[in-house]
Amino acid sequence: MQVTQAYRFALDLTPTQQRAVLCHAGAARVAYNWALARVKAVMDQRAAERTYGIADADVTPAFGWSLPALRKAWNTAKHEVAPWWAQCSKEAYNTGLDALARGLKNWTDSRSGRRAGRPVGFPRFKSRRRSTPSVRFTTGTLRVEPDRKHVVLPRLGRLKLHESARKLARRLEAGTARILSATVRRDGGRWHVAFCVEVERAVRTPARPNSTVGVDVGIRHLAVLSTGALVPNPRHLDGAARRMRRLARRLSRRAGPDRRADRRASNRWGRAQAALGRAHSRVANLRRDGLHKLTTRLTREYATVVTEDLNVAGMLRNRRLARHIADAGFAQLRRQLQYKSEWTGGRLVVADRWYPSSKTCSGCGAVKAKLPLSERTYTCTTCGLVLDRDLNAARNLAALAHEATDARSGRESQNGRGADRKTCLGGLVAVKRQPGTASAGQTGTVPPQGGTSTRMLTKAS
């Protein structure tokens, strides 16, 4: 099985090497800002000419937004814009132009409706102080040295690693991996190199091929498994909050940059900002490490993992829980489960967003109309089951993995307990179906607006 994955290593750069990497990152920023200025100037000129009544055939020609067009324009003007262009690798300028091409494409796709998610704004200029230094190499010498403690990159030469690159080196020596690109980036005060690698992975099977586990994520516990196991929430951000508040107060007492007064930041402000950035980076690294260990353990042990399709963006609007939800990393948990399930030969089943996993009784299947968030114990009024709320939800999620025949439509479904139905009051059911289809035993039709449309249908007696 061929997959594309990244190997990320910390670097130990000398002062001379740091200046060289910063020079390449600055060259990428210069190319990005120059191309963006050209694009904006041409757009404004064309808009102004149209207001004067000039025909479309006579307006200023459009400036190409694709990467080849931007690269061609840069090569024509680089002798005047950046006379020092020969000091840096061509990949540095290609990094900035590629970032702008991607940003413009995302903006146009978002405006035309071809891109899902939140609207994407027009690209903005990059600041030398606020932007993250980064440069990407796609051609030239990209290799790991035989000692596995050094890497070689174009124009930057031989760079020392803070840790051994033996995992990547073994695959390269065995011929099961091929380096596609290398990105050098400063994150949390440290420089890292990330290799994008095409890897030939062996076909694997989970340790328990016929097992299924439901995973209910939350704040009190990071994950509750249908087996009854509880994964504690480490709350890394809460643990570092006291130190981060102290560092933030120290930063506020320093003389920071002020554009209105034309004042540059003091050296003490820069050191305080770097210390605060390292504290945030440490929290992010701890969170990433914990999520990787959890998802790796689940996908290697269980053949089928069932989780929920949570509206994380909507949950973050709750000002009381937003910080705790963001610290847990729900979206990262599902993303890692998705690709690691493919690597280990398992599968990931995602329950519908409207499936009432917490309101449904895992014993008899009865659904409660309401279940407040403060009620942590589920008590079924039909069969008398008393169970922890999260464990009950995890068991319901595990039940979805078993294929069952939908009695309403007669089709095979993985939603054995009706995961495509939304709990409603007054005997009403909202059914999520493909447009133009109707279910047996129900009255009403679904308008063909799209596969995610729902409509209240009345049950037939």
Q: What is the pLDDT of residues 20-48, one digit of tens each?
A: 999 999 999 999 999 999 999 999 998 89
**Residue 416: pLDDT above 70?**
no
Q: Which residue has the higher pLDDT, 58 or 95?
A: 95
pLDDT of 353 = 86
Instruction: With cut-offs at 50, 70 and 90, classify the pLDDT of residue 250.
Output: very high
pLDDT score at 222: 93
* Among 91, 98, 216, 352, the one annotated catalytic: 216
**Interatomic CA distance for residues 287 and 255, integer angstroms:** 32
Torsion, Cα of 357, 362, 367, 370 (10° steps) = -60
Structure tokens at 392: 């009950």
Residue type, 299: T
Q: Which of 91, 327, 352, 390 is catalytic?
A: 390
| pLDDT the model gives residue 258 | 87
Of the listed ranges 51-55, 325-329, 425-429, the one predicted with least confidence: 425-429
Phi, psi of 193, deg, nearest 5: -120, 130
Q: And the tokens for 200? A: 């030939």
Bridge partners of residue 412, in order along the sequence: 405
Residue 12 has pLDDT above 60, yes or no: yes
Query: What does the alpha-carbon distance between residue 141 and residue 215 come to, in Å, rounded to a whole number?
Result: 44
Tell me the pLDDT band of 324, cut-offs 50, 70 and 90: very high
Give the pLDDT of residue 142.
94
For range 178-193, the mean pLDDT: 93
Whether the per-residue pLDDT at 433 is higher than 60: the answer is no
187 is catalytic: no
Please confirm, yes or no, whether 406 is among the known catalytic residues: no
Q: What is the pLDDT of residues 130-151, one digit of tens each?
A: 899 999 999 999 999 999 999 9
Instruction: Give 420 or 241, the one with higher predicted confidence.
Output: 241
pTM of the model: 0.80
Task: Spot the catalytic one: 91, 98, 308, 352.
Answer: 308
Lowest mean pLDDT among 17-31, 120-134, 322-336, 422-436: 422-436
pLDDT tier at 420 (50, 70, 90 boundaries)? very low
Rounded to the nearest integer, the mean pLDDT of the chain is 85
- For residues 391 and 215, the answer to whether their CB atoms sit within 8 Å is no
pLDDT above 50 (res 232) = yes
Q: Which of 69-78, 168-177, 219-228, 255-264 has the lowest mean pLDDT?
A: 255-264
Instruction: Look at residue 381 in the predicted model and tell me its pLDDT.
Output: 86
Q: Where are the beta strands (DSSP E) in 218-291?
A: 221-225, 230-232
Least confident residue range of 36-50, 401-415, 440-454: 440-454
Q: What is the pLDDT of residue 406?
A: 43
Alpha-carbon distance of 81 to 213, in angstroms, equals 59
pLDDT digits (tens, 9 = 90+) for 282-308: 999 999 999 999 999 999 999 999 999
Backbone angles phi, psi at 228, to 5 degrees: 100, -5
CA distance 287 to 270: 26
Write out pLDDT tens, residues 74-133. 999 999 999 999 999 999 999 999 999 999 999 999 999 999 888 999 999 999 888 999
Quick one: pLDDT at residue 57? 82
Q: Let me know if 238 is a catalytic residue.
A: no
